[in-house]
Structures are given as C-alpha cells and as structure tokens.
Amino acid sequence: MSPPLTETDIAFVKSLVIHEDAAIIALNKPSGLSSQGGRIKAHTLDDLLAAFAKSSGNRPRLIHRLDRDTSGVILTARTKPAAGFLGKAMMGRRFRKTYLAIVTPGAPEPAGGTIEHPLRREEIGRESYMRIAKAEEPGAENALTRYRTLARGEAAALVECSPQTGRMHQLRVHLASMGRPIAGDARYGGALSVGGVAVPRLMLHAARLSFPHPDGGTTTIEAPMPDDMRAVAAALGVNP
C-alpha cells in the first residue's frame, strides 16, 4: 500500500492537469513518472490520482498508460460509467494518438508512410521488451504505425507518429526497425549523445489525443513539447 500523499504530492499532480470536466481529467505526464505499477519506490501517477478522490473515496481511473520515460497526454475517467465508455471506445480503436519523436541518424526513408510489422513480447529476467516477429510466430500481434517527418537536420529528425494499434513499445520498436531509433532509447538502440548534444531521456512525447467524450462529441487534448525535449530539438536543428 502506498504511503499517504503529502501536500507537495497533491500540488504536483494538480499542476499536471491540462483538462478537467465532470467526466474526465487529462494530465500532462512528465518523463520519469510511472503510470502505474512502477518498480521504483516512489508514487506512480495512479497513486497520485488519490488527490482527486471524492468524499466517497472514488478516485479517477487511468484509461491508458504511457511508458515511464514518455511524456505527454494521459487520460483518466472520474466516474465508473465514464471509464466504461472510454474503455470500450479505446478497444474499438476510436482513440487517435499523436506522438512526437526525435530519431537518429537523420530522417527516415521514406520521409513518411506506414510501418506494419508484427510484434512479440519477450522476457529477460524481470525485464520485458518487444521485438519484430513473423505473423505466424506464437504470440505475435499485428502492429501498425503511421508516421511523417516534420523537420530534419544532419544528425536527427523530428517525426510525428500515429499508432493504429496499442502494442507495448510499438513506436520505439517500429522506428528502430527502420534504422531510426528514438534518441535516448538505450533499450532499442537509441543514441545517448547526438552530434555532441547529450540526450537526457527517451525523446518521445504524447502530443495529442482525440477521443469520443462520454457526454458526446469528440474531444482533442494537446500537451506542448516539454522543455528538455524542445532544447534537444533546437540544438539538433529539428524544431517543431
């Protein structure tokens, strides 16, 4: 059981809110914060959602996850009916997710298109990772990513990615499969230094999320690129 939240914890998670209404709360998750179930002995975002608990004890529920080192838009439901509605919408692939990634060395070839490689989950000790697999392999799952290059420099490029499926590490593995791993992604071959520029973390940001709102219509929520990623992009000449 997680320790109770401090005033600092509560102020921190409330500072992440970028949209709030009766049905949902959307937050701009910083890199380094686990969505839930993290192995580091620190509060996860799921733990921090206790800051929004009602007097009944009901608290927002995470609708999806982001990797610990990925920043950006993450959605929660404030009520059980909203969670059920959004869960069904996500299973029905009615969510539209858009990410920004800094890849190396240079822009993908072609500069835009579709990556469609099945992925399979592998375990090494306590670590899990994904690899490209053949469709007929046991455990292989179809995976589809659309991408386009937004800016290119000599050593790197800024790429917009839209996963059409929701596999673990999908964007990271698909981009690496093109020979353009995400900068800072040591697990999948990403450089930790590019053209003399230090890369402080995985350069992947969930920039935009569009989804059907439980109260009707379509809602789109955006999160600006964080300062650390913007600084790397500027230093490499691939500003958005």
Nearest to 199 by CA among 162, 155, 150, 146: 155
Q: Indicate the CATH number of 7-235 among 3.30.2350.10, 3.40.630.30, 2.70.98.10, 3.90.10.10.
A: 3.30.2350.10
What is the tens place of the pLDDT at every residue in 8-66? 999 999 999 999 999 999 999 999 999 987 555 678 999 999 999 988 888 999 999 99
- Please give the pLDDT value at position 229: 98
> Residue 4: which pLDDT band, with cuts at 50, 70 and 90?
confident
User: Could you tell me if 207 and 195 are in contact, meaning their C-beta atoms sit under 8 angstroms apart?
Assistant: no
The structure's pTM equals: 0.94
Residue reference for tokens 């990634």: 101
Q: Is the pLDDT of residue 3 over 90?
A: no
- Please give the pLDDT value at position 86: 98
User: Could you tell me if 68 and 46 are in contact, meaning their C-beta atoms sit under 8 angstroms apart?
Assistant: no
- Please give the pLDDT value at position 2: 67
Length of the chain equals 240
Adjacent-strand bridge partners of 25: 20, 76
Provide the sign of the torsion angle of the four alpha carbons 225, 226, 232, 235, taken in this order: positive
What is the tens place of the pLDDT at every residue in 56-110? 888 999 999 999 999 999 999 999 999 999 999 999 999 999 999 999 999 999 9
Nearest to 75 by CA among 90, 63, 60, 87: 63
User: Could you tell me if 75 and 64 are in contact, meaning their C-beta atoms sit under 8 angstroms apart?
Assistant: yes
Nearest to 45 by CA among 56, 61, 21: 61
Catalytic residue among 67, 185, 215, 227: 67
Locate the domains of the chain by residue range: 7-235
Q: Does the annotation count 69 as an active-site position? A: no
Q: Are strands 197-198 and 193-194 parallel, antiparallel or unpaired?
A: antiparallel
